[in-house]
Amino acid sequence: MKDDKIVDVEILHGAPCGATWEAVRGVIGLPVEEAVVRIGLETQFFCSADPAGWDPMYGHSPVHFAGEIHMAALTRAIKSAASEPDV
């Protein structure tokens, strides 16, 4: 991050369908608050899971679940990056 914007993302674990790599392209350069929402939407757009496969336990389709997981992961990464000292 630089000036509260996403400048780079290192993907440690991504979705098997490849949606993570596509979604990350859409958040580079965005303010962090906007990036968290955008990565969820981008992931849902690129996710190849069947959106009709509704999970009664979570109340979401796999596509929505994937978006939420990516939002949570980016939120954790932003918090971690914000707490690191500048080099």
pLDDT, tens digit (0-9, with 9 covering 90-100), for 1-34:
999 999 999 999 999 999 999 999 999 999 999 9
Residue 8 domain flag? no
* Rounded to 5°, angle at Cα 78 from 77 and 80: 65
- Within a domain: residue 33? yes
Torsion sign (Cα): 29, 34, 36, 38: negative
| Residue 9 lies inside a defined structural domain of this protein | no
For the chain, what is the mean pLDDT? Answer: 90
d(CA 71, CA 50): 20
pLDDT at position 84 over 80: no
The answer to whether position 31 is within a domain reads yes
Structure tokens at 1: 């991050």
58 has pLDDT over 90: no
- Does 51 map to a domain? yes
Domain for residue 6, yes or no? Answer: no
**Number of domains composing the chain:** 1
Answer for the pair 71, 37: CB distance below 8 angstroms, yes or no.
Answer: yes
Domain hosting 36: range is 19-82
